[in-house]
Structure 1
Amino acid sequence: MLDFPVENLSAEDVERLRGIFEPLTRSVRELIDATIRTEADADAVAQAKAEIDAATARLRERQLEGSFGVRFGSDGDQMPWGNVVIGMRNPVAPPLVFVPSEIGGVRADFHLGAAYEGPPGHVHGGVAALILDHALGGAASSMDQPRLTGTITMRYRRMTPLGDLHVDAAVVRTEGVKTFAVGHLSDSEGVTVEAEGVFIRPRWARE
């Protein structure tokens, strides 16, 4: 049992929590991939289901109500650990780790496996849109100036193969409460999807 709440944590406590939950999340990601690709027989599948159900019941003995949201450490750092793109505790997230790019935006290298398939062997178009929406929003926002998606347009230049991928995003211009951003998804052969969007500073963040 954890002896502190998941909020207002020191940097040391944040790392302690990361050390507890990140390995669990990685294991569940592996489980998702194994579930999709297994060719085990019926008895092995039934045994695995029973073990998974038991583990799920154990984890539900103590849990948050609702979603994880965004928690904050005592130094103000964000902890969006439930986020579907970057969440350290979300096994659905690849997850992406964004860093500043050379052109002043954000970029990330990442891997998408069987869990993200649309057309056989390729990334689902909605997953590509999800990643680009997050990347453009990240480029358009800052800690003290959050911006939310107003509109976003996708151009699918070709199918995106599953595997190692890259995303880039940057701001084009800002006009009042609107920030215009562009980005692209690419593989080793070049760009597969392009995006451009308008991101709005919400009313509650304008003062």
Structure 2
Amino acid sequence: MELSAPVRGTGADAAAAAARRVIAGLMRAGDISGADMDEIAGRLNAIADDLDATAPELQERMVDMWRGDGRTRHDAVAGTENPLAPPLDYAPGPDGSITAEVVLDLPYQGPPGCVHGGISALILDHTLGVANGWAGVSGMTAELTLRYRHTTPLFEPLTVTGRQVSVDGSKIRTVGSISAGGRECVTAEGLFIAKHPPRPR
């Protein structure tokens, strides 16, 4: 199976896309491959040393991460500059929902050949939050209820959806799901509170 992912943009986004390939490649290779893992570890540590040597102070980086219009490139689900993110790319639907398509590889495995339930929770928590933002009223997660209806497969296209259902004062209710092959694997109902922590300055 092809390990490459589309490179989005340049700079940190492109480097993160390359890192995703490395992470997936390491998972697929393991110790049973013919690769010299000690040599690879040395090369990767040299890259990490270069990054550590040029990184700004943490507070400066935090300010930079949260600068802008509210869309974050660093988050763990849709962040194009985060190598841990798949990343998801959302599109709006005519009913006010949002949808993303994604294929998850071995780094996200729980049961054999299936997505870890905690990864599904992470994806849905974020998706519901993004759906709130697109609907115009967003906030912090107060409660997230998940129903695991079927195992969620790796290596297959998954459809992730989210839709804001209601706003009652500061309380926001949102629903979402992860589906494979037209079958719901995980569904979510979320309660959000319309408040946000201050951004780093």
Same fold (TM over 0.5): yes
> Following TM superposition, where does structure 1 have runs of at least 4 consecutive aligned residues deviating by more than 6 angstroms?
none
1:32 matches 2:23: yes
Aligned length: 185
Separation in structure 1 between the aligned mates of residue 130 and residue 142 of structure 2, nearest angstrom:
14
1:126 matches 2:121: no
Helix, strand or coil: the match of 1:87?
coil
Helix, strand or coil: the match of 1:166?
strand
Residue number among 191, 202, 206 corresponding to 2:184 in the alignment: 191
Separation in structure 2 between the aligned mates of residue 154 and residue 201 of structure 1, nearest angstrom:
21
Helix, strand or coil: the match of 1:136?
helix
Q: Which amino acid aligns with 1:165?
A: L
Match of residue 50 from structure 2: 58
Q: Which amino acid aligns with 1:130?
A: L
Deviations 1:137-190, CA, capped at 9 Å, x for gaps: 111235974311010100000100012111111111111100111111001141
> Which of the two has higher C-alpha Rg?
1
After alignment, is 142-151 or 95-104 more displaced? 142-151
Q: Which amino acid aligns with 2:72?
A: P
Contact 1:153 1:195 in 2 (8 A): yes
Q: Which amino acid aligns with 1:40?
A: S
Match of residue 140 from structure 1: 132
Helix, strand or coil: the match of 1:26?
helix
Q: TM-score, normalised by structure 2?
A: 0.84
User: Matched residues, percent identical?
Assistant: 33
Match of residue 86 from structure 2: 94
Separation in structure 2 between the aligned mates of residue 118 and residue 107 of structure 1, nearest angstrom:
24
Q: Which amino acid aligns with 2:67?
A: F
Alignment of 1:1-207 (within 5 A): 18-38=9-29, 39-41=32-34, 44-66=36-58, 68=62, 70-73=65-68, 77-142=69-134, 145-163=137-155, 164-202=157-195
Separation in structure 2 between the aligned mates of residue 144 and residue 86 of structure 1, nearest angstrom:
19
After alignment, is 193-202 or 102-111 more displaced? 102-111
Q: Which amino acid aligns with 1:78?
A: G
Q: Which amino acid aligns with 1:187?
A: A
After alignment, is 118-127 or 129-138 more displaced? 129-138
Deviations 1:42-61, CA, capped at 9 Å, x for gaps: 7x111111111111111111
Separation in structure 2 between the aligned mates of residue 124 and residue 55 of structure 1, nearest angstrom:
29
Contact 1:105 1:139 in 2 (8 A): yes
Q: Unaligned regions of 5+ residues in structure 2, if any?
A: 1-7
Separation in structure 2 between the aligned mates of residue 171 and residue 112 of structure 1, nearest angstrom:
25
Contact 2:139 2:195 in 1 (8 A): yes
Distance 1:203 1:98, change over 3 A: closer
Across the aligned residues of Structure 1 and Structure 2, the Cα RMSD in angstroms comes to: 2.3
Q: TM-score, normalised by structure 1?
A: 0.81
Helix, strand or coil: the match of 2:10?
helix
Separation in structure 2 between the aligned mates of residue 89 and residue 40 of structure 1, nearest angstrom:
29
After alignment, is 32-41 or 160-169 more displaced? 32-41
Match of residue 6 from structure 1: none
Contact 1:186 1:192 in 2 (8 A): yes
How much does 1:65 deviate? 3.3
Distance 1:64 1:107, change over 3 A: farther
